[in-house]
Amino acid sequence: MEEQKHLEQVLALIRERGWTYSECREDDCRSIDFEYRGVSYHIWEFHDHEWGVETNVRHGGGMEELTGDYEAELLKIMEDWK
C-alpha cells in the first residue's frame, strides 16, 4: 500500500514559520501537534468513509472535524497567523 501524502503543505508551513512541532503516523493517518504563541494545537487525521481531520486550529480550545479539502482549509486558517 502506497503511503498517502496528506498534510505535507501544512507541515511545510509549520517548518517555514519555525514553530515547535511533533508528528506521528499510524494506519496511514498523520497526527501533528504544534505550538504557536504558547498555545498547543492538534491536527489528527482520520479515515472512516472519507478522509478528514479533527483539529483545534480555528478555535484554540474547541475541536472540530474538517473533511473534503481539509488541508486547504487548515492552510487558509494558519496562513493568517503572524
Break the chain into its structural domains and give their ranges: 8-78
Neighbouring residues of 79: CB distance < 8 A, sequence distance ≥ 6: 13
pLDDT, tens digit only, all 82 positions of the chain: 345 678 999 999 999 999 999 999 998 899 999 999 999 999 999 998 899 999 999 988 899 999 999 999 999 999 999 7
Q: For residue 6, what is the DSSP state?
A: T
Residue type, 72: A
Q: Structure pTM? A: 0.88
The count of residues in the chain is: 82
